[in-house]
Structure 1
């Protein structure tokens, strides 16, 4: 987990617990970091550790990333996520792929079914 410079890992865990630091390994299959320049760093099958200390969470990602162009601009993704009742573009795309419907029809079906993917697909089929 951490390199303690030769310190006994058990002793290190005890010290961290005394300081109120909690460390958990997460079972992540993929981590994507979207950068402001429109590229993404994609970590497939990474080792992810979350450390909680003083009401703040810190994540450590260990793995070899690949770089790719972002699927959509970061500004669009942020504005989409901040709208409470907005249907995520990824859901619209999934319904379109499964049904062959247009983007507007897929979005309408998702809105009609309160974002339920399976119901939206059934609605269009």
Structure 2
């Protein structure tokens, strides 16, 4: 709401503009997942706004960020171990250190990294 504006008048104006805003009650958790991790809203207010045929979801709250766990495929570990001529354990450690970057892991293991 706009401070100082009558809520009734605000609803009337929104109706004239073709806006329909409705709250979503009893929201327990909202999670937005990205490749880098998850934004988790434990307590949030959610509203659904429809205007001119477009639906918009509005989230109000403070999220916490959970970083994504690094998962390294076994194929990548085998490839690095083979290319660098090292045991699988060393290849896995090098991949973890390089955040899964195969080329960087191989260069670090072979001593050719800058």
Q: TM-score interval w.r.t. the shorter chain?
A: 0.5 to 0.7
Q: What is the TM-score when the length of structure 1 is the normalising length?
A: 0.50
2:16 to 3, 15, 18: 18
Residues in 2 aligned to 1:71 and 1:45: alpha-carbon distance in whole angstroms: 24
Match in the other structure for 2:63? 65
Larger Rg: 2
Q: What is the aligned length?
A: 70
8 Å contact 1:43–1:66 — kept in the other structure? yes
Residues in 2 aligned to 1:31 and 1:14: alpha-carbon distance in whole angstroms: 31
Match in the other structure for 1:80? none
Runs of 4+ residues over 2 Å off in structure 1:
69-73
Structure 1: give runs of 5+ residues left out of the alignment. Answer: 74-125
Structure 2: give runs of 5+ residues left out of the alignment. Answer: 72-114
Change (3 A) 1:20 1:71: farther
Structure with the higher fraction of residues in strand conformation? 2
Q: What is the TM-score when the length of structure 2 is the normalising length?
A: 0.54
